Amino acid sequence: MQTRRDFLQKMTGSVLALSALSSTAVAACADPERKNDSPVLRVAIMGLGSYGTRVAEAMKTCTKAKLVGVISGTPAKIKAWQTKYNIPEKNCYNYENFDRIKDNPDIDAVYVITPNGLHHNQVIRVAMAKKHVICEKPMAVNAKEGQEMVDACRNAGVKLLVGYRMHFEPHTLEIIRMRKAGEFGKVLFFQGLSGFIIGDPSQWRLNRALSGGGSMMDIGIYSINGSRYMIGEDPIWVTAQEPPKTNPMKFKEGVDETIQFQLGFPGGAVASCLSTYSLNNLDRFFLDGTQGFAELMPSTGYGPIAGRTHKGVLDQPVTTHQTVQMDEMSGILLEGHQPIVAVDGLEAVKDLKIIDAIYQATKSGQKVELHL
């Protein structure tokens, strides 16, 4: 493990100049807010696609996490990332040889940002290489695979976190704080709307083997996960309906276009949600209780997140979600911090159990009981 000070010294290329300064002064140069010498999480990103790029850019302003390695099947991308992010050759891997990361003491964690259907195998390989894993959502394509990933990480003695960036988002956390403080009274209703119009029919998101499903896996999961952190309970039943598909070219067998679903919670609340690949401007959470309400719109996009409650407009700071997520995950992985809302593999398995049940309910038309 490398401390933040070690890292700063290496990055400047002027160890002598920096060591002449006190540690407090070094810290203050880079981050006036920082109060102590936190360790830096050294991360390799696997999958240099669109979201991997977003994470890499956001990590430039992290204070507790640093991009130090890459895993990709495309040599040209590796070269470009090496130049852009100053990544040494010894920290570059491809999908065939990344098990060798086990012998690399300069990488603490691998962030898996590949198509969903690949996560299971890749996460287990990273765990066997004894590195902590951060995996993108959905963590797997079903709960069974998700549980196997959790077990593999536990057996290997590494931690498994999932890229639930909203769990660190200030407007979201303020609503959670208000709910815990009882400011909404008894919460009885949540609405989650999650969707966008998907384009290119040949993309992996519309390929069942790589995606594990359709809109539900990709975007509907935000309403599922959101219902849980907004209400503050895990659901005990689900019902779901899938209307006829509008485009057989895009939405083949096993790839859902639109599903509406309902979740029941032990305290009596119900959630009513829509997941779709055929509507834009669908990113809204609404929570209602006997004494107040909260609305987030947009609720899970990259931001800025906006919201209001019965007390007025929320004015929490606007953040770059992935920057905050990676700094917070550094604290969780290296310092044992506990997040306000869980971001571990078991949290993801709960969402996958709900997704399994939603798919089951759309086929059977029956209510499915959940045991999370």
> CB of residue 25 vs ligand NAD: minimum separation in angstroms?
37
Q: Which is nearer to ligand NAD, 27 or 113 (CB)?
A: 113
Q: How far is the CB of 264 from ligand NAD (least distance, A)?
A: 27
Minimum Å gap between C-beta 119 and ligand NAD is 7
User: How many other CB atoms are found less than 10 A from the CB of residue 276?
Assistant: 24
Tell me the closest approach of the beta carbon of residue 11 to ligand NAD, in angstroms: 26
Which one, 2 or 211, has the nearer CB to ligand NAD? 211
Distance separating alpha carbons of residues 194 and 197, to the nearest angstrom: 11
Residue number, 73 or 182, with CB nearest to ligand NAD: 73
Task: Say how far apart CA 92 and CA 72 lie, in whole Å.
Answer: 8
Nearer Cβ to ligand NAD, position 132 or 137? 137
Position with the least CB separation from ligand NAD: 49
Rg (CA), the chain: 21
SS3 content of the chain, % helix, strand, coil (to 5): 40, 20, 40
Q: How far is CA 245 from CA 121, 167, 280, 295, 325, in A?
A: 31, 32, 17, 30, 36
Closest approach of ligand NAD to the CB of residue 302, in Å: 7
| 283 Cβ contact partners less than 8 Å away, ≥ 6 residues apart | 193, 194, 195, 297, 298, 299, 300, 301
Minimum CB distance to ligand NAD, residue 320 (Å)? 12
Q: For the CB of residue 261, give the shortest distance to ligand NAD in the complex, in Å.
A: 19
Q: Which is nearer to ligand NAD, 113 or 332 (CB)?
A: 113
Separation CA 171–CA 313 (nearest Å): 10
Residues that bind ligand NAD (CB under 6 A): 47-52, 73, 113-116, 118, 136-137, 163, 165, 204, 210, 218
Q: Where are the alpha helices (DSSP H) in the chain?
A: 4-12, 15-19, 23-30, 50-59, 75-85, 116-128, 143-156, 170-180, 208-211, 215, 221-231, 321-335, 345-364
Residue 26 or 153: the one with the smaller Cβ distance to ligand NAD is: 153
44 phi/psi in degrees, rounded to 5: -105, 130
For residue 3, the SS3 value is strand
Q: Three-class SS of residue 179?
A: helix
Instruction: For ligand NAD, give the closer residue by CB, 48 or 187.
Output: 48
Alpha-carbon distances of 184 from 178, 190, 290, rounded to whole Å: 7, 12, 6
Secondary structure class of 28 (helix, strand, coil): helix
Q: How far is the CB of 77 from ligand NAD (least distance, A)?
A: 7
Closest to ligand NAD by CB, 116 or 260: 116
